[in-house]
């Protein structure tokens, strides 16, 4: 198995993007801060493992041991014992060879690398008592401002400026805000959009923010004029100062906005460091500065800034619970630059709160999937939707082979390659439906007592890789083979991509590489367990969180029948289909008296066949 250099060639980022702004390197021996450059890649788990065949073999062994015992503590103990034996053997070999460098022998023979340093986030100069006092003052100020943001009837009349409104989560926020009586207005920051000719790529026309906004409201089924009157759309760009909003548009916003909800971010787990930094850190800084300017404006009604982060700002924890009230640099590093830069953005948010007095609520969703009842996702094809769509298309290729014997055989082989998923059966993924996340965002706006808090919008009923595989088999008729993540990452995936490329399947090869990048870290055993509780205690959400198994089952059904495994790209057609699907799911739940996600796959398919015209995806009227 080829080795990779443990010191990847990576130029340092520009100073304004440097991790040294947030992270420091500390000597384990002396406790002193080491004045050394910190390369972004050194903060990822991929920089510290899989460089030696013995390391890979040990991880495979641990994975098998966990499957047979189900005891993570036992596995961790065995890992420590094996490392101890490896170091002991290295010392004995060094003595026999009259060498003075057992650490080099341990690294060469067994892939054991002992670091004499660790990383930590730079500490805030305020004491814990001072921080608690400051946060209490900010919450009190927010409550006073909130009391003033009431209409003539005494009820809250909140006015939100929303970034990321055209995204998957943002659209759900708009849909829920339309019927939320406490929300008087939502102003969406949105860029103009160029429409290009599909063949020539020439710009045919440019849609203004207002035109894009009206189209989006149509696609969200918002037909009531009173509901539509809540929304307006302003040109802007979160990567620019003042969010790219013109002075002309900015002046009236300063006089009426009570909350800025910043949900714009990059969700590309495979983006390079600088791209992730620009989207997640620079974008957050621009939003924080904008909120601070609103808060400082004379006679401002501003109550609070609501920042949307991710529960994975905690990275790869070892055994400790990922707590809501702190961010520490993870012992096992970060999976990707998305997690790392979102953690940096959270640190910037805390700085604004503690040093500038900005009133802030931090919300940290887990891995967001479609709506919990119906699986509707507004046409999103990213993250968890991506492997489901790949598996679905593979199933279709297996069941409708065309051409001669060799072509049919090749298609069958390629389809089976696409159905390999890197996942330890026991690995737990924290999936949370988008409606729960949007519900939490609007609850944060209505609750000034949430100021100064960090809230995980996550679940306490996680789903395992094995359960994902089982549901995919039931719902898509696809047998997904789980591959040990370390072996898949280091051996199987490189071979698969080469074979697929040789069969002129470069696009599928890239898709599998992307899936490996996204899920390679999240589908290993020992995933972080996120503390939950503030969603109920602080935001007032229901104690019973969405059923993850039901939600994932509805994701599969939606992607199969509504989205046709990612083939339906037109947003208007997707809206039409999701509206018919929503009506069907609602009526089916009323008829059965239980969530549709609880229905066995055969029963659901029978109900679907009775009510839908498969050729047009139109809902048939019930039989008398």
What are the residue ranges spanned by the domains of the chain?
A: 15-120, 128-370+445-457, 385-430+463-572
C-alpha 430/C-alpha 458 separation (Å) is 7
Inter-CA distances, 124 with 130, 131, 220, 323, 622, Å: 11, 9, 43, 18, 63
With H, G, I as helix, E, B as strand and everything else as coil, classify residue 470. Answer: helix
Walk along the chain (624 residues) in steps of 10 and give the mean pLDDT of each run.
Answer: 46 86 93 92 85 71 74 77 80 80 74 81 91 95 93 88 94 97 96 82 86 95 95 93 93 95 83 92 94 94 96 81 91 91 96 96 96 95 88 77 57 72 86 97 97 96 93 92 82 84 80 74 80 96 96 97 94 96 96 96 96 91 69
**Hey, which residues does 306 pair with through a beta bridge?**
261, 361
Burial class of residue 516, CB neighbours in 10 A (0-12, 13-18, 19+): buried
CB of 456 within 8 A of CB of 532?
Answer: yes
Task: Show the tokens assigned to 205.
Answer: 């026309």
CB of 166 within 8 A of CB of 394?
Answer: no
Of 325, 358, 362, 322, nearest to 342 by C-alpha is 362
C-alpha 10/C-alpha 55 separation (Å) is 24
- Sequential DSSP letters for 115-137: -SEEEEEPPPSS-HHHHHHHHHH
C-alpha 211/C-alpha 166 separation (Å) is 13
33-34: strand order across its sheet: 33-34, 23-27, 117-121
Burial class of residue 602, CB neighbours in 10 A (0-12, 13-18, 19+): exposed
- The pLDDT of residue 202: 82
With H, G, I as helix, E, B as strand and everything else as coil, classify residue 75. Answer: helix
Task: Show the tokens assigned to 147.
Answer: 């009391």
Measured N-to-C along each axis, helices 102-110 and 53-69 cross at an angle, to the nearest 10 degrees, of 70
C-alpha 40/C-alpha 271 separation (Å) is 13
C-alpha 382/C-alpha 613 separation (Å) is 28
What DSSP designation does 156 have? Answer: B
With H, G, I as helix, E, B as strand and everything else as coil, classify residue 364. Answer: strand
Give the H or E element holding residue 536.
Answer: helix 534-537
For the chain, helix (H) and strand (E) counts, in that order, are 22, 20
Answer positive or negative: Cα dihedral of 29, 33, 37, 39: positive
pTM summary value: 0.90
Q: What is the CATH number of domain 128-370+445-457?
A: 3.40.50.720
Inter-CA distances, 141 with 160, 299, 301, 343, 452, Å: 18, 14, 12, 27, 11
Q: 């009526």: which residue's tokens? A: 587
State the pairing for strand pair 360-365/454-457.
parallel
With H, G, I as helix, E, B as strand and everything else as coil, classify residue 569. Answer: coil
């Amino acid at each position: 198995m080829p080795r990779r250099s443990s010191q990847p060639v990576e130029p340092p980022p520009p100073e304004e993007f440097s991790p040294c702004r947030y992270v420091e390197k500390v000597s384990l021996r002396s406790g002193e801060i080491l004045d050394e450059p910190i390369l972004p890649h050194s903060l990822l788990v991929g920089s510290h493992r899989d460089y030696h065949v013995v390391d890979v073999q040990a991880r495979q062994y641990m994975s098998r041991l966990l499957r047979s015992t189900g005891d993570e503590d036992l596995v961790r103990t065995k890992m420590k014992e094996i490392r101890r034996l490896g170091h002991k053997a290295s010392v004995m070999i060094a003595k026999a060879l009259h060498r003075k460098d057992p650490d080099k022998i341990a690294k060469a023979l067994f892939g054991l690398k002992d670091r004499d340093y660790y990383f930590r986030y730079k500490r805030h100069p305020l004491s814990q008592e001072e921080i608690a006092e400051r946060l209490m003052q900010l919450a009190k100020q927010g409550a006073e401002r909130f009391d003033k943001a009431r209409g003539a009837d005494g009820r809250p009349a909140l006015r939100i400026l929303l970034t990321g409104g055209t995204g998957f989560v943002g659209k759900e926020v708009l849909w829920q805000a339309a019927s939320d009586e406490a929300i008087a207005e939502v102003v969406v920051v949105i860029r103009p959009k160029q429409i290009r000719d599909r063949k020539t790529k020439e710009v045919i026309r440019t849609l203004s923010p207002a035109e894009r906004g009206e189209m989006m409201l149509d696609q969200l089924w918002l037909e009531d004029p009173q509901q539509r009157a809540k929304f307006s759309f302003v040109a802007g760009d979160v990567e620019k100062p003042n969010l790219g909003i013109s002075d002309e548009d900015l002046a009236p916003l300063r006089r009426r906005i009570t909350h800025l909800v910043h949900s714009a971010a990059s969700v590309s787990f495979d983006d390079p460091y600088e791209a992730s930094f620009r989207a997640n850190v620079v974008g957050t800084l621009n939003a924080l500065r904008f909120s601070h300017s609103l808060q400082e404006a004379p006679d401002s009604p501003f109550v609070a800034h609501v920042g949307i982060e991710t529960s994975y700002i905690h990275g790869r924890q070892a055994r400790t619970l990922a707590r809501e009230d702190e961010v520490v640099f993870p012992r096992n590093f970060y999976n990707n630059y998305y997690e790392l830069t979102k953690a940096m953005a959270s640190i910037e948010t805390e700085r604004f709160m503690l040093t500038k007095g900005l009133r802030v609520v931090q919300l940290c969703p887990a891995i967001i999937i479609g709506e919990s009842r119906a699986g509707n996702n507004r046409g999103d094809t990213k993250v968890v939707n991506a492997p489901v769509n790949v598996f679905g298309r593979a199933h279709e290729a297996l069941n409708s082979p065309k051409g001669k014997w060799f072509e049919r055989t090749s298609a069958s082989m390629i389809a089976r390659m696409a159905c390999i998923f890197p996942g330890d059966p026991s690995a737990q993924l924290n999936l949370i439906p988008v409606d729960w996340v949007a519900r939490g965002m609007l609850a944060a706006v209505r609750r000034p007592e949430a100021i100064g808090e960090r809230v995980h919008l996550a679940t306490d009923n996680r789903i395992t890789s094995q359960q994902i595989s089982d549901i995919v088999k039931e719902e898509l008729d696809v047998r997904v083979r789980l591959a040990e993540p370390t072996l898949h990452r280091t051996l199987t995936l490189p071979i698969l991509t080469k074979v697929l490329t040789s069969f002129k399947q470069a696009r599928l090869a890239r898709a599998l590489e992307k899936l490996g990048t996204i899920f390679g870290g999240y589908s290993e055993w020992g995933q972080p367990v996120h503390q939950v509780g503030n969603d109920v205690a602080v935001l007032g959400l229901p104690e019973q969180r969405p059923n993850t198994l039901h939600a994932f089952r509805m994701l599969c059904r939606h992607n199969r029948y509504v989205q046709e495994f990612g083939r339906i790209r037109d947003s208007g057609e997707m809206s039409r289909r999701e509206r018919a699907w929503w009506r069907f799911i609602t009526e089916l739940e009323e008829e059965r008296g239980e969530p549709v996600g609880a229905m066995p796959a055969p029963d659901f398919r029978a109900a679907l066949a009775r009510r839908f015209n498969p050729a047009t995806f139109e809902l048939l009227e019930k039989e008398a």
